[in-house]
Amino acid sequence: MIIDKAEVIVTSPDRNFVTLRITTDDGLVGIGDATLNGRELAVVAYLQEHVAPLLLGADASRIEDMWQFLYRGAYWRRGPVTMAAIAAVDMALWDIKGKAAGMPVYQLLGGASRDGLMAYGHASGKELPEIFDSIRAHQEKGFRSIRVQTGVPGLKAIYGIASQGADVGDGSVRYDHEPARRGARPTQEDWDTRAYLRHIPTVFEAVRNEFGPELPLLHDGHHRMTPLQAAKLAKSLEPYDLFWLEDCTPAENQEALKLVRQASTTPLAIGEIFNTYWDYKDIIANQLIDYVRSAVTHTGGISHMKKLMDYAAMFQIKSGFHGPTDVSPVGMAAAMHLGLAIHNFGIQEYMQHGERTNQVFRQTFTWNDGYLHPGDEPGLGVTLDVDEAGKYPYEQAYLPFNRLADGTVHDW
Ligand code: GCO
Ligand code: MG
């Protein structure tokens, strides 16, 4: 199992995806996701220029050793670019190991701890009728847990609203569909925290009244509040019994979460922009979060995330792995295998890729009655169709950003 080829494939069917494809001398092929939304080519260069030459001639079966070599051997540690690159290598090697063993990756991680993975989808709307319709549409698609994002009176464009986005080709509209954002400059959105804090509880009250107490509801604050504002938000949403409130405040300032905790019992989810378990060390030990939001793609791959989740398990903290459409189907599959195997799985985000993406990445996962399952093909269960991928060249794209009314840049 000697690596004799390591290729980086960039494709942009609905949005940009970066995939590492490793081939061994005995003909096994493994793929890994290295997509870092809006900064894709930095990871491509890291992989192509610095990692691929080190992979050639290496033993593909030594996953942990390769991880440590790439992490410690670079001297420069952590960071989204490094950790996405290492994640792709790690995923590709697990894919190869599964194929060599004739087993799906979850079997190699200890086997299934459950029958399927409860997943949540993204409902949204500018106003209540649109939000209600969107929740119903998600329920019809099988979702049993639903994230709700809302417009705010007075604000023109805001994170998470699908009707601001574009059609992905299968009739569904996404807020973050990249072609809508493509262009030389990032789009500007607007933000007003006080208006948001006033409006948001009224929306959750209306949603609870309409859909009853059972439906698990989630919400993403997308890093916009100060600690005190985050505490106010968590407290004001408490009557609506959220499954979680995500990224209520930028998590670089981890001490701040103590304030949020003291103010409310709304469960907190954090970590989609973290990239190692070091980022979680204190907030887990101090019991300041309830769900780990990392993506396998951005946090060093399956090997590193398994360690993170085992550490979190000691504190009764569960997984809520990041699963937006900018995590490729390969990264999603890795999350599903890991989620199926670990005991402390919580929920999986599942935004659903568009038709073109599903043609490029052939997948074996199943989606039944609100539950995902990665399938039982050896490895990760995803095949990259290189010819199909070649039809969609890279297009420069940026995430949007925010300015306040006076022109100040604010967290997006
Ligand atoms: C989520 C996230 C995404 C991110 C996106 C950035 O909870 O799914 O917040 O919507 O904004 O992944 O690339
Ligand atoms: Mg989020």
DSSP string covering 125-193: ESSHHHHHHHHHHHHHTT-SEEEEEE--TT-S--TT-GGGSEE-SSS-EETT-GGGTBSSSPPEEE--H
Q: How far apart are CA 93 and CA 255, in angstroms?
A: 37
pLDDT recorded at residue 133? 97
**Which residue bears the tokens 């290496």?**
58
In a mutational test of the pocket of ligand 1, which residue from 270, 272, 319 has the highest number of ligand atoms less than 8 Å from its CB? 272
| pLDDT confidence band for 170 (50 / 70 / 90) | low
**Beta carbons of 290 and 267 less than 8 angstroms apart:** yes
Which H or E run contains 234? Answer: helix 227-237
**Which residue bears the tokens 């990760």?**
380
DSSP string covering 54-79, please? HHTT-BTT-HHHHHHHHHHHTSS--S
Q: Which atom of ligand 1 is nearest to the CA of 351?
A: 8
Q: Which domains does the chain have, with CATH numbers?
A: 3-104 (3.30.390.10), 117-376 (3.20.20.120)
- For the annotated catalytic residues, the residue numbers are 159, 222
pLDDT for 166 beyond 90: no
Give the amino acid at 316: Q
Contacts of 241 (CB under 8 A, 6+ apart): 208, 213, 217
- The greatest distance separating any two alpha carbons of the chain, rounded to the nearest whole angstrom, comes to 61
pLDDT tens figures, 76-116: 999 999 999 999 999 999 999 999 999 999 999 999 999 99
Q: How far apart are CA 229 and CA 307, in angstroms?
A: 33
pLDDT recorded at residue 184? 72
Specify the residue with its C-alpha closest to ligand 1, atom 1: 324
pLDDT recorded at residue 165? 64
Residues 71, 332, 267, 250: is their CA dihedral positive or negative?
Answer: positive
Residues with CB under 6 A from ligand 1: 37, 176, 220, 222, 246, 272, 322, 324, 326, 349, 399
**Beta carbons of 118 and 50 less than 8 angstroms apart:** no
pLDDT recorded at residue 180? 46
Q: How far apart are CA 305 and CA 298, in angstroms?
A: 10
Specify the residue with its C-alpha closest to ligand 1, atom 11: 222
Calculate how far, in angstroms, residue 102's C-alpha sits from the geometric centre of ligand 2. 35
Q: How far apart are CA 150 and CA 160, in angstroms?
A: 8
Q: What's the rounded mean pLDDT across residues 180-187? A: 70
Kindly report the average pLDDT of the chain as a whole number: 95
Q: Which atom of ligand 1 is nearest to the CA of 37?
A: 13
DSSP 307: H
Q: What's the rounded mean pLDDT across residues 150-155? A: 96
Closest CA to 333 of 356, 311, 313, 357: 357
Q: Which atom of ligand 1 is nearest to the CA of 322?
A: 8
Count of Cβ atoms closer than 10 Å to residue 173 Cβ: 17
Give the amino acid at 164: Q
